[in-house]
Amino acid sequence: MKLLRILALVTLPACSLGTAAEAPEGSLKVLFIGNSLTYENDLPRTVAQLALSAGLQQCYCYQIAYPNFALEDHYDNRIAVRALEDESWDFVVMQQGPSALASSRASLIQWAEYFGGLIDENGAQAVMYGVWPELERESEFPNVTESYRLAAEAIGGLLAPAGEAWQFAWAADSTLPLYSFDDFHPSTMGTYLAAMTVFQRIYNHTPVGVQQAAVVDGRVQSWPLATVRLLQEAAASAIAAEDARVVISR
């Protein structure tokens, strides 16, 4: 685990519940590669807490994430590449910006494929963490999801449709504050929704009923039980809708 001790000095780590220097024996090892949409409110730690609440295999959730990084930047930076070459993982969760435009979609797919080769060699399962557009470009939600769906299909990966989960939640309650103050990064509620889609993908376990009180970045939230349940059901519905789409397309 020498590599991970080095990485902990230069990245924003979220190992298990944020403190472990190396993976506990028997834990599920998940590498997160992304940017501020991953480390804001510590999505990996939130995923690990969901697993703990569900009584499932402990998650060693480790993130390599930097502001404004795309997958191409991570490939050039080499730290994520070395993590894949030198350590074994069960899942690798990847994201970059919204990637709704044709050029950014092509870049997302291209660099996901580069990482996909490394992930296959590692023996891990790839997961594309499908994000969302800025509020001022909210009409791009479908294009963002499609970009990440195509990237997942290109590498034989899974799609965690966080952006779709946001839309399911808003369909039930349009007042939910899923964006942060800058109308792009997630609020704690937005991160909770995103984390549940990743949780369900890597554990194949519904988030519905896993927590009575939501825990985000290690902090218990004061949201009403009905709101927590709504968010859990929105995440599960987004996964179900994506799975149904895949079945129909076949």
User: 58 to each of 38, 64, 147, 199, how far by Cα in Å?
Assistant: 20, 19, 31, 12
Q: What are the pLDDT digits (tens) for 86-104?
A: 999 999 999 999 999 999 9
Question: What is the reported pTM?
Answer: 0.92
154-207 pLDDT, tens digit each: 999 999 999 999 999 999 999 999 999 999 999 999 999 999 999 999 999 999
Angle 225-249/188-203 helices, nearest 10 degrees? 50
What's the pLDDT tens digit per position in 49-59?
A: 999 999 999 99
Domains of the chain: 2-249 (3.40.50.1110)
Mean pLDDT for the chain overall: 91
What are 222's two structure tokens?
Answer: 């004061």
Q: How confident is the model at residue 246 (pLDDT cuts 50, 70, 90)?
A: confident
Q: Distance between CA atoms of 8 and 195, rounded to whole angstroms?
A: 22
pLDDT at 16 > cutoff 50: no
pLDDT, one tens digit per residue, over 133-143 is 999 999 999 99
**160: which strand partners?**
129
Interval 98-133: pLDDT, tens: 999 999 999 999 999 999 999 999 999 999 999 999
